C-alpha cells in the first residue's frame, strides 16, 4: 500500500481545487458539530458553576425550576414573595448554618438588582466553592450610614464603565416603564466584584434596607401621587423589610438536607418550598436537553451531507480518472491498490477537514469568547476536546473513511472491468 | 515465452466469442508484429496475454505460468514483474514527473526494482539511462509529464515499459498518435531497446507498413477463427 500512497497524494494534489471545496465542507460540518457540542458543554458548565456551597434555595411554593431560574440566574420572576419572618424562623432550625435572603425585581439599564444582606458576600459560593472577591472597594455594611451603597458585578462595571464613587439610579421593575425611575435616591458605587463568569457578574447588589427605602413612596409598582419621601427622610423610616423573593440556605451538615427540605415544605404559616440546586439544574437540563439534541442532530445531518458531497465529488471525477487507473494497472497496480488509493484520498480529505474544523472552533472560541461573555454571560474555554468531542470527531473521520470506500469500490470494479483499455 | 492454446473469449453480456484462437506461440526475445483491422480483437488479445482478462476456455501461458492458475492478486504481481505495457496514448500520470513516471513499475514490482538496481546501480540511475537512450535529456526529467509533447510522452512510456527488463513488452498501437517522422524514430528506438534488453516485443498496429522491421508478422484475422466466422 506504501507504493500507492505517494501516488495518491500527488494525484489528489493535482485535483486540489475540487478537493479543497470538499475539505471546506467537511471542515464546516466538523466545526458545527464540535462547536455545538462545545457550546453545549460550556453553557452547562457555566450554569453548574453559578451556584455552589448553597444547600437549599427557598421560595414561595411553585415550580422548582422557576425558583432556581430567578434566584440564581435572575431569569423570570417570582409569583409570590416570602415573609422575612418565616425565613428567619427557618434560619433558626438547628441544622441551618446560614440564611441569605434575596430580593429581586428592580434593574439598572437592563442589569438586574439584587437586594440582600452583607452575609451574601460572606456565604455565597460559585464554581468550585469559590467565594466572591472584591476587585475594588468594599461590600456594603448594611447599616444606615451606608444605605445608598451599591456593589457592582464585574460585567456591569465593565459594560457601563462605572468606577468607585460613581452615582447611579435604579429603575423599577425591568426598566420597561418610562418614568419608573428611583431617581430621587441615587446610589454610590462602593465596590466592584471580581469576575466569576456567573450571573453575579451581571448583577448590582444593594442592601435589603435600601430596597425598602426606594420603595417607601411606591405602592403596587407606581409612585404614590403627592407623596414624596426624600433620600434623607427615608433614613428615619422603618426600613425593616417584610417580604423578600427567596433565600439561600447553607447547612451545618449536608446530610440534613432532606429533613430541612421537608421541614420547609411543611412550614405552616406560609406555603414555602426548598429546592436542591443540583436537582433543579438537572430538571433544567431535561428541559434544555431536547433543544440541545435537536441542534446536535442538525449538525450531524450537516456532517452527513458534506460527506455525501465528498462521495459525489470523487465519484463524479472517477470517469475522467479511468485513464489514470488503467495506467496504474498497466504498471502493476492491482485493483485493491486502486481501491486504497481512493479510500486514502477520502480519508485524507476528511482528516484535514476535521483538523481544519477543530482549528476553526478553537479560533472562534478565542474570537467569540469576549462577546459571549459580555452579551450572554457564557464563558467559553479554550480546551482540548473531551471524550464526547473526540468521539464526535472520530465518528466524522470513520464516516468519511467509510464514505470514501464507496468511490474506492466503484474504482475497483471499474478497473477490473476496464483492464488496460478503458472504454471511456 | 507465450503459449496460448484453444483460446476463446467473449465479453460479458455478449453471446458470440470475439476471439477463438487455436494456437499462438511466441518465442523468447522475438519481436512480433500483430496486425488486424479495428475491432478484430487486438486489444482483447493483449488483455489476455497480459493476464488482465481470463479466457472463457483454453489457456494462456506466460513464461510457463498459466494466468488462470494464479489468484487475482498474484496475477497483478506477476504482470508487474514480467510485463511492460505501452498504450496508444495517455500513458503517463500527468501529475508525476517524467522520471517518476518511468520509475512507476519499480513501485509495484520488487523484481523489476532489483533488476534495475543490478543493471545501473540504482533504479533511478537505470531510469535516467533509459531516458537518455530514448533521447530525453536531463532537462526534462523533473518536468510534470503533462508538459511533454505526444512524441516525448510515448518515448517516456517506452522507457518505463523497459525499466527492469521485463520479459514481455506489449505495445498497443503506440505510434498511432505520432506523425510519420516521429513514428519511424520511435519504432527504431523501441525495437533496438527491446533487443538490447532481451525482451520479447508484441506490437499491435493496423498499419501494415510497419511490419517489415519485425522478426515475425501475425495477422489476427488469420488466426482468429471467430473473426473468420463473422466475416463469412
CATH number listed for the domain at residues B2-231: 3.40.50.300
Q: Which residues of chain B are within 8 Å of residue A4 when distances are taken between CB atoms?
A: 107
Q: Considering the domain boundaries, does residue A167 fall inside one?
A: yes
pLDDT of the residue at A295: 84
pLDDT of the residue at B156: 92
Q: What is the mean pLDDT of chain A?
A: 83
Percent of chain B with pLDDT over 70: 97
Looking at per-residue pLDDT, the higher value among B188 and A373 belongs to B188
Tell the residue number behind the cell numbers 438586574, with chain if given: A112
Pair A93, A225 in one domain? yes
Tell the residue number behind the cell numbers 473469449, with chain if given: B9
Q: Considering the domain boundaries, does residue A280 fall inside one?
A: no
Pair A340, A300 in one domain? yes
Question: Does residue B98 register a pLDDT over 90?
Answer: yes
Rounded CA gap, B194 and A356, in Å? 51
To the nearest 10°, report the CA torsion of A106, A112, A118, A121: 170
Q: Which residues of chain B are within 8 Å of residue A16 when distances are taken between CB atoms?
A: none
A251's grid cell: 447547612
Which one of A322, A330, A339 would you mutate to disrupt binding with B, by most B Cβ within 10 Å of its Cβ?
A330
Pair A126, A236 in one domain? yes
- pLDDT category at B232 given cuts 50, 70, 90 is very low
pLDDT of the residue at A99: 92
Closest to A141 in 3D by CA, of A203, A79, A206, A195:
A206
Contact B172 A13 (CB under 8 A): no
Low-confidence spans in chain A with pLDDT less than 50: 424
Question: Does residue B53 register a pLDDT over 90?
Answer: no
Q: Considering the domain boundaries, does residue A410 fall inside one?
A: yes
pLDDT of the residue at A424: 45
Number of domain units in chain A? 2
Question: Which among A7, A324, A331 is the nearest to B160, CB-wise?
Answer: A331
- pLDDT category at B35 given cuts 50, 70, 90 is confident
Rounded CA gap, A72 and A68, in Å? 6
Identify each DSSP E strand in A121-203 by its residue range: 125-126, 130-131, 134-137, 149-152, 167-168, 187-193
Beta strand A56-60 with A272-275: parallel, antiparallel or unpaired?
A: antiparallel
ipTM greater than 0.90, yes or no?
no
Question: Which among A10, A14, A332 is the nearest to B109, CB-wise?
Answer: A332
- Determine how many CB atoms are found less than 10 A away from the CB of residue A181: 16
The residues of A whose Cβ lies within 8 A of any Cβ of B are 3-4, 6-7, 10-11, 13-14, 323-324, 326-337, 417, 419-421
Q: Considering the domain boundaries, does residue A282 fall inside one?
A: no
- Determine how many CB atoms are found less than 10 A away from the CB of residue A294: 10
Rounded CA gap, A230 and A416, in Å? 95
Tell the residue number behind the cell numbers 488466426, with chain if given: B223
CB–CB of B154/B177 below 8 Å?
Answer: yes
Contact A333 B47 (CB under 8 A): no
Pair A252, A118 in one domain? yes
Question: What is each CA distance from A83 to A86, A107, A211, A271, A410, in whole angstroms?
Answer: 5, 22, 15, 10, 76
Rounded CA gap, B100 and B87, in Å? 18
To the nearest 10°, report the CA torsion of B151, B156, B159, B163: -160
Per residue in B199-229, pLDDT (tens digit) is 999 999 888 888 888 999 988 888 887 764 4
Contact B77 A331 (CB under 8 A): no
Question: Does residue B43 register a pLDDT over 90?
Answer: no
- Out of A244, A275, A306, a domain closes at A275
Question: Does residue B230 register a pLDDT over 60?
Answer: no
Q: Which residues of chain A are within 8 Å of residue B50 when distances are taken between CB atoms?
A: 420
Rounded CA gap, A317 and A346, in Å? 13
Pair A36, A104 in one domain? no
Q: pTM above 0.80?
A: no
pLDDT of the residue at B231: 43
- Out of A219, A249, A275, a domain closes at A275
- A9 is in which domain, residue-wise? 2-47+289-418
Pair A122, A211 in one domain? yes
pLDDT of the residue at B200: 93
pLDDT of the residue at A225: 65
Amino acid at each position: 500500500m506504501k507504493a500507492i500512497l505517494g501516488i495518491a497524494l500527488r494525484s489528489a494534489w493535482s485535483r486540489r481545487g475540487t478537493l479543497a471545496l470538499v475539505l471546506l465542507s467537511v471542515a464546516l460540518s466538523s466545526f458545527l458539530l464540535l462547536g455545538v457540542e462545545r457550546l453545549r458543554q460550556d453553557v452547562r458548565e457555566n450554569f453548574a458553576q453559578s451556584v455552589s456551597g448553597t444547600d437549599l434555595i427557598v421560595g414561595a411554593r411553585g415550580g422548582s425550576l422557576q425558583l432556581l431560574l430567578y434566584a440564581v440566574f435572575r431569569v423570570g420572576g417570582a409569583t409570590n414573595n416570602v415573609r422575612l419572618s418565616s425565613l428567619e424562623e427557618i434560619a433558626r432550625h438547628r441544622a441551618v448554618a446560614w440564611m441569605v435572603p434575596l430580593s429581586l425585581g428592580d434593574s439598572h439599564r437592563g442589569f438586574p438588582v439584587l437586594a440582600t444582606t452583607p452575609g451574601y458576600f460572606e456565604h455565597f459560593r460559585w464554581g468550585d466553592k469559590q467565594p466572591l472577591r472584591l476587585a475594588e472597594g468594599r461590600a456594603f455594611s448594611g447599616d444606615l450610614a451606608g444605605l445608598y451603597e451599591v456593589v457592582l458585578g464585574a460585567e456591569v462595571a465593565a459594560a457601563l464603565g462605572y468606577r468607585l464613587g460613581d452615582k447611579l439610579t435604579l429603575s423599577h421593575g425591568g426598566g420597561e416603564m418610562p418614568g419608573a425611575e428611583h431617581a430621587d435616591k441615587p446610589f454610590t458605587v462602593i465596590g466592584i466584584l471580581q469576575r466569576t463568569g456567573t450571573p453575579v457578574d451581571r448583577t448590582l447588589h444593594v442592601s435589603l434596607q435600601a430596597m425598602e427605602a426606594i420603595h417607601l413612596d411606591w405602592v403596587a409598582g407606581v409612585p404614590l401621587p403627592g407623596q414624596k419621601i426624600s433620600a434623607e427622610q427615608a433614613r428615619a423610616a422603618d426600613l425593616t423589610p417584610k417580604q423578600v423573593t427567596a433565600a439561600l440556605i447553607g447547612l451545618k451538615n449536608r446530610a440534613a438536607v432532606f429533613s430541612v427540605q421537608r421541614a420547609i415544605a411543611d412550614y405552616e404559616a406560609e406555603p414555602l418550598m426548598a429546592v436542591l440546586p443540583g436537582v433543579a439544574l438537572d430538571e433544567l437540563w431535561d428541559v434544555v436537553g431536547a433543544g440541545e439534541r435537536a441542534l446536535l442532530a442538525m449538525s450531524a445531518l450537516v456532517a452527513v451531507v458534506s460527506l455525501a458531497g465528498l462521495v459525489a465529488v470523487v465519484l463524479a471525477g472517477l470517469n475522467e480518472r479511468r485513464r489514470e487507473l488503467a495506467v496504474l494497472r498497466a504498471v502493476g497496480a492491482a485493483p485493491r491498490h486502486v481501491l486504497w488509493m481512493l479510500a486514502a484520498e477520502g480519508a485524507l480529505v476528511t482528516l484535514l477537514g476535521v483538523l481544519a474544523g477543530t482549528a476553526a472552533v478553537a479560533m472562534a472560541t478565542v474570537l467569540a469568547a469576549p462577546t459571549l461573555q459580555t452579551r450572554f454571560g457564557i464563558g467559553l474555554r479554550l480546551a482540548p476536546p473531551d471524550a464526547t468531542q473526540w468521539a464526535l470527531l472520530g465518528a466524522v473521520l470513520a464516516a468519511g473513511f467509510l464514505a470514501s470506500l464507496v468511490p474506492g469500490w466503484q474504482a475497483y470494479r471499474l478497473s477490473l472491468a476496464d483492464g488496460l483499455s478503458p472504454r471511456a | 515465452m507465450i503459449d496460448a492454446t484453444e483460446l476463446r473469449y467473449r465479453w460479458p453480456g455478449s453471446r458470440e466469442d470475439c476471439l477463438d484462437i487455436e494456437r499462438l506461440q511466441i518465442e523468447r526475445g522475438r519481436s512480433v508484429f500483430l496486425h488486424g483491422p479495428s475491432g478484430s480483437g487486438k486489444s482483447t488479445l493483449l488483455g489476455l496475454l497480459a493476464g488482465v482478462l481470463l479466457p472463457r476456455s483454453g489457456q494462456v501461458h506466460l513464461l510457463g505460468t498459466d494466468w488462470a492458475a494464479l489468484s487475482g492478486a498474484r496475477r497483478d504481481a506477476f504482470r508487474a514483474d514480467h510485463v511492460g505495457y505501452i498504450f496508444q496514448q495517455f500513458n503517463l500520470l500527468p501529475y508525476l514527473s517524467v522520471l517518476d513516471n518511468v520509475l512507476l513499475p519499480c513501485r509495484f514490482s520488487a523484481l523489476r526494482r532489483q533488476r534495475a538496481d543490478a543493471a545501473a546501480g540504482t533504479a533511478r540511475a537505470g531510469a535516467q539511462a533509459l531516458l537518455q537512450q530514448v533521447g530525453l535529456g536531463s532537462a526534462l526529467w523533473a518536468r510534470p509529464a503533462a508538459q511533454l509533447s505526444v512524441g516525448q510522452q510515448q518515448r517516456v512510456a517506452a522507457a518505463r515499459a523497459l525499466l527492469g527488463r521485463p520479459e514481455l513488452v506489449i505495445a498497443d498501437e503506440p505510434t498511432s498518435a505520432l506523425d510519420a517522422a516521429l513514428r519511424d524514430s520511435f519504432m527504431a528506438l523501441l525495437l533496438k531497446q527491446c533487443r538490447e534488453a532481451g525482451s520479447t516485443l508484441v506490437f499491435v498496429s493496423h498499419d501494415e507498413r510497419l511490419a517489415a522491421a519485425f522478426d515475425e508478422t501475425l495477422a489476427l484475422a488469420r488466426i482468429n477463427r471467430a473473426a473468420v466466422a463473422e466475416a463469412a
